[in-house]
Amino acid sequence: MKQALALGAAVLILVFGTATSAYALPTVEAPPQEHGKETATEEHSATTEHDAHGEAEAHDGDEAQTGHHDRSHLKNEVAFFLGATDEHGHDTEFTLGVDYKRRVADRVAVGGFLDHAGGELRNSLVGALVFWWPWRTLALYAGPAMEFHDGRNQDGAGGDDGHGEGGDSNENYFVVRVGAGWDFHIGEHYGIIPTVILDLVEGEKVWVYGLAISYGW
């Protein structure tokens, strides 16, 4: 009897153990599959966040490089020019000037200028200009102008007779001005602009070069 009971208990234990193992097998294998999906999702999210962060840093870097060179938000600018005028047949003479420009687009502005070359030249120019920034702070500009020459007579007192040795008369000339300048920014509003200008006057070439100090607002 005892042997029969022991044998029955052993069979029950064996059957229960086998059933438990068979039931537990799927539940043991399932978690790695779920964990794999979660890991892949987390890795994808991390990659996406890293890419987004990288794109943001690149965008910030581009702004850092280009923002310093872009003053399109400053619609008005005035510049005071100090330089020299080199006209064939005359000494190079000290030149003062001022110009104003108004932005009408991100890279385009319109404005006007007034220059005066002293010494024996005695020329004053007034005209209109169109400005264009093709790259960074490089400005190219061109426009028509009028030159007003202050004549002098033979005694050097000035005049309009046009007679005598060394005398000339008051004259007005049509001028086409083309120029280029590079704006080195100083803070938000100020700049120093090395400038080279070519004036075409009555078939002659007159070079003007110097520095302009600008203020924008």
- Each as own residue / partner, the long-range contacts of residues 185-191 (CB below 8 Å, 24 or more positions apart, any chain) are 185/68, 185/69, 185/71, 185/137, 189/74, 189/215, 189/216, 189/217, 190/214, 190/215, 190/216, 191/137, 191/215, 191/216
User: What are the tens digits of pLDDT across the range 197-217?
Assistant: 999 999 999 999 999 999 999
pLDDT of residue 29: 52
Cβ-contact 206, 85 below 8 angstroms = yes
Cα 154 from Cα 165, distance rounded (Å): 6
DSSP state for residue 199 in the 8-state scheme: E
Taking the domains of the chain in order of start, what are their residue ranges?
A: 1-67, 76-216
Within 8 A by CB and 6+ apart from 175, the residues are 125, 127, 144, 145, 146, 147, 199, 200, 201
pLDDT of residue 156: 47
Cβ-contact 195, 212 below 8 angstroms = yes
pLDDT of residue 154: 43
CATH of 76-216, picked from 3.40.50.300, 3.10.129.10, 2.60.40.10, 2.40.160.20, is 2.40.160.20
Ranges of residues in the chain with a pLDDT under 50 are: 2, 4-5, 11-12, 15-16, 19-28, 56, 58-68, 154-156, 158-165
DSSP state for residue 216 in the 8-state scheme: E
pLDDT of residue 71: 75
The span from the first CA to the last CA of the chain, in angstroms, equals 110
pLDDT of residue 168: 77
pTM of the model: 0.63
Cα 33 from Cα 96, distance rounded (Å): 81
- What mean pLDDT value characterizes the chain? 77
